[in-house]
């Protein structure tokens, strides 16, 4: 943080760029004049939802001022604020910078409370029940906007002065702005530098020089009149359909995935009905007594690791907002060389207040566990009840859930999806279906091509009387141990691919207890008889590449025909629109990471369907797209 300091007036100053973040004592007025008035934000908000794109998040002042304007208007429109930051501030700097604007205090406190601890990747923050949201993309502006998918209504160009930071005002960045603009997109910036105006004109903006803020003679506003690019970064075979006008939605499955997508679709204004074959919510894999939510710490930055980190950060904020009882902090024991290499690689990149290496001596002192292993302590990991979580989602959005409804088929009739259930029929049609029923998702003619696999997992229940030490913090090693109530623990879980057995097996219990005893000898008392222990069996849906399936469902035969030439490397612009079942989507295959990723992925899917704006980077859109396996097979056909 040596690059940042404060002026005598208390304004944040960048030593790297030798420039202030805003005018001393005038930051709020400057933002209102330059960006809100320059883009006619308040006028537009009375008519439409807005996607605002910003270049340079800084202290978050522009976001907070826009949020305040939305609050004063007291309207039902939504703001999605998309921004980037290459040099993120520590939270202490945010607090001091925000203190200069007491009129924003009730908003800035909420923002600081949700800012991510790690400063890499895409992070999505929601406020005002999702009506005000912030997509914070860490990294170089050109790089992150290349990964962003969506159209922007208003641009805030707010980097450091062009003379101080010319990279922020480059032709490459202006090209990205053009790619994310439509015929009504506006822009505003404090600068009137000639090369900036000419650069914006070259990519299609009509530019006007107007009176600047305060003593500044000029600033720049503009409107896009260039060629509108329909898709900015997503590969042609992974394109989503156009923004949906659906009003009614059927969600199949009342587990973690189904209830989350129902929650976010209803919050965005749709009429949602959830169907499940069981007698209540979270009855299958989502129904364990207690679960762990923690990110994958990878040796190098990779797609799965970054997805789980963004997912965990979002889920932590969501769980807090829902008021779900949870315990924070988790020990991931380093029990072999492979895990050591993975965790040590992550420790080199990640801050200590996110994940911290503890020695055996540290662990003994802090947790009263005396064993030979080091452990990574996950400060923001949590453990909680998936069932309570599911019930909170239902309660807070008053979701309509119809249980004992086992889906047998669904077909499009006169533009509506008609559902047929075992021993009963739905008497209404739906504009949209979201399949969130784990491995059962592939049991229908439209989805039979999906390579979902079933994994069996058995957990075992232990009481505090069966352990030598009362362990409040969750433990992850090869398996896991987590305290689920005042006196009870869950030990889990086996991972048996393609095993359909619903029986509770003594041999699996022995295996779990034996593995735990080998790692933590003496922690389970010697007189515990594995044959007398009870537990639970459930099944998860997994895929070979460990990513879930999130997105539209294609028409398999037509899709293969449309993209058969992908193996020859045909230029992207020569491909047609993907043949897809209109109004049919998936959110399934979450595997063992449902607690970590289901909320973020559900929100991503809901916003892509309704707004055409992705809160995930392109690398993750491709990683989770349901058609990826078909494309891989086509590419191999040489």
Looking at 161-175, 193-207, 568-582, which range is the least confident one? 161-175
Does residue 66 form part of some domain?
yes
State whether 203 and 79 are in the same domain: yes
Cα–Cα dist 598/259, whole Å: 9
DSSP string, 503-521: S--HHHHHHHHHHHHHHST
Cα–Cα dist 545/108, whole Å: 40
State whether 169 and 277 are in the same domain: no
State whether 23 and 164 are in the same domain: yes
CA 164 to chain CA mean position, Å? 34
**Confidence at residue 2, expressed as pLDDT on a 0 to 100 scale:** 43
State whether 217 and 278 are in the same domain: no
CA 80 to chain CA mean position, Å? 14
Residue 560 has pLDDT above 80, yes or no: yes
Residue 590 has pLDDT above 70, yes or no: yes
Number of domains in the chain: 2
Residues 6+ apart with CB under 8 A from 416: 429, 430, 431
Residue 497 has pLDDT above 80, yes or no: yes
State whether 195 and 257 are in the same domain: no
State whether 184 and 130 are in the same domain: yes
Band of residue 5 on the pLDDT scale cut at 50, 70, 90: confident
Let me know: does 192 contact 220? Beta carbons within 8 Å.
yes
Residue 17 has pLDDT above 60, yes or no: no
**Confidence at residue 18, expressed as pLDDT on a 0 to 100 scale:** 59
**Confidence at residue 15, expressed as pLDDT on a 0 to 100 scale:** 63
**Confidence at residue 230, expressed as pLDDT on a 0 to 100 scale:** 77
What pLDDT, in 10s, does the model give residues 214-259?
878 899 999 999 999 876 689 999 999 999 999 999 999 999 999 9
What pLDDT, in 10s, does the model give residues 287-332?
888 999 999 999 998 999 999 999 999 999 999 999 999 999 999 9
Looking at 140-144, 319-323, 634-638, which range is the least confident one? 634-638
DSSP string, 549-584: EEEEEE-HHHHHHHTGGGGGT--GGGS-PPPEEEEE
- Closest by CA position to 38, among listed 256, 151, 207: 207
Looking at 49-58, 392-401, 420-429, 537-546, which range is the least confident one? 420-429
DSSP lists the bridge partners of residue 587 as 550
Residues 6+ apart with CB under 8 A from 518: none
Cα–Cα dist 50/65, whole Å: 15
State whether 146 and 240 are in the same domain: no
Write out the H or E segment, with its range, that includes residue 482.
strand 480-483
Q: Percentage of residues in the chain with pLDDT exceeding 90?
A: 84
Residues shown for the chain: 638
Let me know: does 34 contact 216? Beta carbons within 8 Å.
no
Q: How far is CA 429 from CA 248, 316, 447, in A?
A: 8, 36, 19
- Give 467's DSSP letter: B
- Closest by CA position to 261, among listed 382, 397, 418: 397
What pLDDT, in 10s, does the model give residues 60-101?
999 999 999 999 999 999 999 999 999 898 888 899 889 989
Does residue 414 form part of some domain?
yes
Cα–Cα dist 344/374, whole Å: 11
**Confidence at residue 12, expressed as pLDDT on a 0 to 100 scale:** 67
Go through 601-620 and write b for each residue having 16 or more CB atoms within 10 A of its CB, e for each that does not.
Answer: bbbbbbbbbbbbbbbbbbeb
- Closest by CA position to 531, among listed 510, 502, 501: 510
Could you tell me the strand order of the sheet in which 132-138 lies? Answer: 121-127, 132-138, 79-85, 50-55, 152-157, 181-189, 218-224, 205-211
Let me know: does 552 contact 585? Beta carbons within 8 Å.
yes
Which of 224, 244, 261 is a domain's end point? 224
**Confidence at residue 324, expressed as pLDDT on a 0 to 100 scale:** 97
Cα–Cα dist 516/524, whole Å: 8
Cα–Cα dist 290/486, whole Å: 12
Which conformational region is residue 243 in: left (phi greater than 0), alpha (psi within -120 to 50 degrees), or beta?
beta
Q: How far is CA 62 from CA 21, 317, 327, in A?
A: 11, 22, 34
Let me know: does 154 contact 184? Beta carbons within 8 Å.
no
Which of 155, 190, 224 is a domain's end point? 224
Supply the CATH number for residue 412's domain: 3.50.50.60
Looking at 31-40, 257-266, 483-492, 623-632, which range is the least confident one? 483-492
Does residue 575 form part of some domain?
yes
Assign 3-state DSSP to the chain and report helix, strand, coil percentages, each to 5: 35, 25, 35
Cα–Cα dist 350/333, whole Å: 17
What pLDDT, in 10s, does the model give residues 435-477?
999 999 999 999 999 999 999 999 999 999 999 888 999 999 9
Supply the CATH number for residue 20's domain: 3.40.50.150
State whether 65 and 186 are in the same domain: yes
Cα–Cα dist 179/186, whole Å: 13
Residue-averaged pLDDT of the chain: 93
Band of residue 165 on the pLDDT scale cut at 50, 70, 90: confident
- Closest by CA position to 107, among listed 82, 74, 87, 132: 132
Neighbouring C-beta atoms of residue 637, cutoff 10 Å? 9
Domain that holds residue 174: 4-224
State whether 124 and 255 are in the same domain: no
Does residue 174 form part of some domain?
yes
Residue 363 has pLDDT above 70, yes or no: yes
Residue 1 has pLDDT above 50, yes or no: no
367-381 mean pLDDT: 96
What pLDDT, in 10s, does the model give residues 417-436?
999 999 877 778 999 999 99
Residue 4 has pLDDT above 80, yes or no: no
Please state the pTM of the whole predicted model. 0.95
Cα–Cα dist 172/420, whole Å: 52
Cα–Cα dist 125/116, whole Å: 9
Which of 183, 200, 224 is a domain's end point? 224
Let me know: does 442 contact 589? Beta carbons within 8 Å.
no
201-215 mean pLDDT: 93
Give the residue with greater pLDDT, 7 vs 275. Answer: 275
State whether 127 and 63 are in the same domain: yes
Does residue 518 form part of some domain?
no
Cα–Cα dist 63/81, whole Å: 7
Band of residue 43 on the pLDDT scale cut at 50, 70, 90: very high
Does residue 567 form part of some domain?
yes
Neighbouring C-beta atoms of residue 206, cutoff 10 Å? 14
State whether 215 and 241 are in the same domain: no
Does residue 322 form part of some domain?
no
Does residue 122 form part of some domain?
yes
State whether 625 and 578 are in the same domain: yes
List helix spans (H) across 46-189: 61-73, 91-98, 105-114, 141-147, 171-179
Give the residue with greater pLDDT, 386 vs 168. Answer: 386
Neighbouring C-beta atoms of residue 345, cutoff 10 Å? 16
């Amino acid at each position: 943080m040596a690059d940042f300091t404060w002026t005598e007036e208390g304004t944040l100053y960048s030593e790297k760029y030798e420039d202030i973040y805003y005018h001393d004592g005038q930051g709020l007025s400057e933002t209102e004049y330059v960006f809100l008035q320059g883009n006619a934000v308040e006028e537009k908000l009375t008519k439409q939802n807005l996607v605002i794109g910003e270049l340079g998040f800084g202290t978050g002042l522009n976001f907070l001022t826009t949020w305040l304007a939305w609050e004063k208007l007291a309207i039902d429109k939504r703001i999605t604020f998309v921004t980037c930051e290459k040099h993120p501030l520590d939270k202490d700097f945010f607090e001091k910078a925000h203190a200069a604007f007491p009129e924003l205090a009730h908003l800035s406190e909420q923002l600081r409370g949700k800012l991510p601890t790690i400063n890499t990747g895409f992070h999505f923050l929601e406020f005002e029940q999702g009506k005000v949201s912030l997509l914070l993309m860490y990294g170089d502006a050109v790089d992150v906007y290349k990964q962003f998918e969506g159209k922007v209504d208003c641009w805030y160009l707010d980097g450091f002065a062009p003379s101080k930071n010319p990279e922020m005002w480059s032709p490459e960045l202006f090209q990205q702005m053009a790619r994310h603009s439509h015929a009504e997109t506006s822009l505003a910036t404090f600068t009137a530098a000639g090369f900036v105006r000419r650069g914006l004109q070259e990519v299609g903006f009509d530019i006007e020089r107007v009176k600047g803020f305060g003593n500044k003679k000029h600033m720049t506003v503009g409107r896009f009149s260039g060629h509108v690019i329909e898709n900015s970064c997503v590969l042609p075979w992974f394109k989503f359909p156009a923004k949906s006008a659906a009003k009614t939605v059927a969600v199949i499955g009342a587990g973690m995935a189904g209830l989350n997508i129902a929650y976010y679709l209803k919050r965005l204004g749709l009429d949602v009905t959830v169907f499940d074959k069981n007698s209540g919510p979270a009855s299958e894999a989502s129904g364990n007594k207690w679960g762990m939510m923690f990110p994958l710490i990878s040796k190098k930055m990779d797609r799965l690791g970054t997805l789980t980190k963004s997912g965990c950060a979002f889920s932590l904020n969501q769980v807090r907002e829902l008021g779900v009882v949870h315990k924070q902090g988790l020990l991931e024991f380093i029990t072999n060389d492979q895990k050591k290499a993975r965790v040590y690689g992550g420790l080199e990149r990640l801050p200590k207040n996110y994940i911290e290496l503890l020695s055996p001596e540290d662990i003994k002192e802090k947790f009263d566990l005396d064993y030979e292993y080091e452990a990574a302590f996950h400060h923001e990991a949590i453990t909680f009840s998936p069932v309570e979580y599911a019930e909170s989602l239902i309660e807070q959005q008053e979701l309509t859930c119809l249980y004992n409804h086992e889906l047998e088929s669904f077909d499009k009739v006169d533009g509506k999806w008609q559902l047929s259930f075992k021993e009963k029929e739905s008497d209404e049609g739906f504009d949209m279906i979201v399949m969130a029923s784990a491995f059962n998702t592939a049991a229908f003619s439209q989805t039979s091509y999906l390579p979902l696999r079933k994994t069996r997992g058995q957990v075992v229940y232990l009481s505090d009387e069966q352990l030598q030490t009362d362990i409040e913090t969750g433990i992850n090693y090869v398996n896991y141990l987590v305290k689920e109530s005042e006196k009870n623990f869950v030990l889990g879980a086996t991972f048996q691919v393609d095993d359909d057995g619903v029986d509770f097996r003594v041999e699996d219990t022995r295996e779990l207890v034996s593995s735990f005893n080998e790692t933590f000898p003496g922690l389970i008392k010697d007189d515990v008889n594995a044959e007398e222990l009870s537990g639970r069996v459930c099944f998860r849906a997994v895929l070979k590449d460990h990513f879930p399936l999130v997105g539209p469902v294609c028409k398999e035969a037509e899709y293969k025909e449309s993209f058969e030439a992908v193996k020859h490397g045909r230029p992207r612009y020569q491909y047609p629109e993907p043949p897809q079942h209109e109004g049919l989507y998936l959110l399934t295959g979450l595997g063992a990471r449902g607690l970590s990723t289901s909320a973020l992925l559900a929100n991503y899917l809901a916003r892509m369907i309704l707004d055409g704006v992705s809160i995930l980077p392109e690398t993750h859109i491709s990683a989770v797209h349901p058609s990826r396996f078909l494309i891989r097979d086509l590419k191999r056909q040489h």
